[in-house]
Amino acid sequence: MSSIGRIFVILNLVLAAAFLGYASTSLAKGSEWKKKYEAESTGHAATKAALDADKSKLLADLNSEKAQKEQYLAQFETAKNESLRNSEDLESAKRNNAELSARLASIDATLAGYNQTIAAMNATKDAAVAQSAELSKALDAAQRERDQAVTTQRDAADTSSAAQVQIAQLERDLKAAKSEASRKDSELQQLIAMTGVDRNAISAAPPIEARVLQVKFDPKPGLVALNVGSEQGVTRGMTFQIYSGNVWKGQVRVESVQASMSSALITDMSSGQTIAQGDSAATIL
């Protein structure tokens, strides 16, 4: 090989080595720049994500503020409308009150006129009543004088016949009283025979007042519990008259006596009446 060829070979080798060194250096620098780019891209992505999150939060806050503002505006409109309605109602109430006051004044005036008319009519009526009373007194006096004269004349004529009628009635009453006394005595004898009660004890019964504690109509004719007993002087065979107020209800006869209460048998019942708890009772009415 000639010297020139060798020179070219060597020159090619040097150029190749230089190019290889340059390429190696360029490749190393490219890798470094790539790493820096990737790191920078990662930082930009994180920053963008943070910015996007802040943006989303700000948008959410903005929407919330907007919704709250709309809610406040709606409440304000509602309150405003309610205030307008209340103002209208107040004005209507004022008008109604004024109308009612006017009507009341008119009614008061009418009533005043009525009161005057009534007063005048009452005065006229009182005068007429007084006049009528005077006329009635005069008429009554005249009638009494006439009646007295007629009565005096009639009494003189009727005295004899009235006396005869009265005597006959007294005789009938005496006969009826004797018959009733005989019947009562017969009933008393039968009662004494049935109960074995001393007749003197019955006729000398002291005045005792009591109250009905309980009534049982089974068995018939019925039993009555009284709130008095031997401590109050009650004895077997005594009779109590049962009444409520001024109404007589019946009669009971004591059959069993304890210290402070007694049991009695219903012996007579007033028609249409029923002995009940709380009724009054007395040996003598």
CATH assignment of 201-282, given 3.90.1150.150, 2.40.10.340, 3.40.1160.10, 2.60.40.1930? 2.40.10.340
Query: Is the pLDDT assigned to residue 178 strictly greater than 80?
Result: no
Find residue 253's DSSP bridge partners. 239, 265
Q: What residue segments make up the domains of the chain, in order of their start?
A: 1-149, 201-282
User: pLDDT higher for 70 or 26?
Assistant: 70
**206 upstream amide cis, omega within 30 of 0:** no
Residue 180 has pLDDT above 60, yes or no: yes
Strand partners, 282: 209, 241
What does the chain come to in residues?
Answer: 285
Task: Specify which residues 257 forms β-bridges with.
Answer: 262
Helices (H) then strands (E): counts for the chain: 2, 6
277's CB contacts (< 8 A; 6+ apart) are 212, 213, 214, 215
CA distance 191 to 201: 13
pLDDT digits over 114-148, tens only?
A: 567 556 666 766 775 677 677 678 678 768 888 87
Mean of per-residue pLDDT scores for the chain: 80
**Whole-prediction pTM:** 0.33
Residue 186 CA: distances (Å) to CA of 167, 180, 182? 29, 10, 6
From start to end of the chain, where are the E strands? 209-216, 223-226, 239-244, 247-257, 262-269, 280-282
